[in-house]
Amino acid sequence: MKRRGGFLLAVVLIAALIFPAFVGAEEPGLFDGLSPSEHNIFTIEQDKELNQQILPEITNPVLESYLQGLVDKLVEHVPAYAKKFEYRPIIILALEKGLRSLPGGAVIVPIVDLAEISSEDRLVASIAHEIAHSALRHGTAMATLEKEGVDEKDIIMLWVKKEAEADLFGARLLMAAGYSPRDTIKFFDDLVIEGKPHDERHPAHAARAQMYRAEMTRLSGKFPERQRTPAGELQKIRNLAGKIIMENVFIVPRAPGVR
Ligand SMILES: [Zn+2]
């Protein structure tokens, strides 16, 4: 019995050496330097209430469970301070691409982003970026500064910092969950090549690609790879989202929240 215990311990130790991430759910220090700003006049409860805003939501069990599955895989790896929120996807009928977030954990996904999924890794990176905004309480921290009358130009500059922070947090989160930032790097590289301008509240595309690239180099091989949704299943998700768009083509509301 004793010998067997010793053998099992040896197996666990070897496994721990091969897969360091199996030692604990979180890599120690993974989110070092990334925590919510202390300067926030809103309470955690208020963040949670803001999460309950009524949106023109699309309820579809297949799409919702697909997205919730991705969200849950990421949330497993958020640091302890971020676990107090309920992270959930909200699918909205919008044709303007780009995920958004609300304080308290709502990840807003325009239906068009599901109809046009190019890669699951890219979609997961977007979700991870939005989870970062909620986890780091960017929405209410910035609303605090606005209420205090901070100059609009400074607000914009601070948003650029927050967006860079959300990229960094998101890149670490998605890699901890076993996904790759490779397609996200390509996405931003392509925007640079196409000469697409970036909006003033975000870092330049090249800087964003560079940040994801640096994190990929740094964390590569540290976490076990995640099995992605099979191509056929992903096609069903696209088709279903496309069908919902076709059925509602005359209603196109504007997307709310922080991008
Ligand atoms: Zn953002």
Domain ranges of the chain: 1-29, 31-247
pLDDT for residue 22: 39
The whole-angstrom separation of Cα 202 and Cα 158 is: 10
Query: Each residue of 227-258: b (16+ CB within 10 Å) or e?
Result: eebeeeebeebeebbeebbeeeeeeeeebebb
CA 22 to ligand 1 center in whole angstroms: 30
The whole-angstrom separation of Cα 34 and Cα 8 is: 37
CA 15 to chain centre: 29
pLDDT for residue 10: 53
CA 130 to ligand 1 center in whole angstroms: 6
CA 246 to ligand 1 center in whole angstroms: 28
Joined tokens for residue 24 = 């604990």
The whole-angstrom separation of Cα 44 and Cα 84 is: 8
Q: Long-range contact list for 16-23, CB < 8 A, 24+ apart? A: 19/224, 20/222, 21/176, 21/222, 21/223, 21/224, 22/224
CA 243 to ligand 1 center in whole angstroms: 28
CA 86 to ligand 1 center in whole angstroms: 18
CA 58 to ligand 1 center in whole angstroms: 22
Q: Give the pLDDT means over successive 10-residue stretches in the chain (259 positions).
A: 49 45 60 91 91 82 98 96 95 93 95 97 98 97 96 96 98 98 98 96 98 97 96 98 88 68
CA 165 to ligand 1 center in whole angstroms: 9
Return the biggest CA–CA distance within the chain. 70
CA 13 to ligand 1 center in whole angstroms: 39
The whole-angstrom separation of Cα 167 and Cα 129 is: 6
pLDDT for residue 30: 93
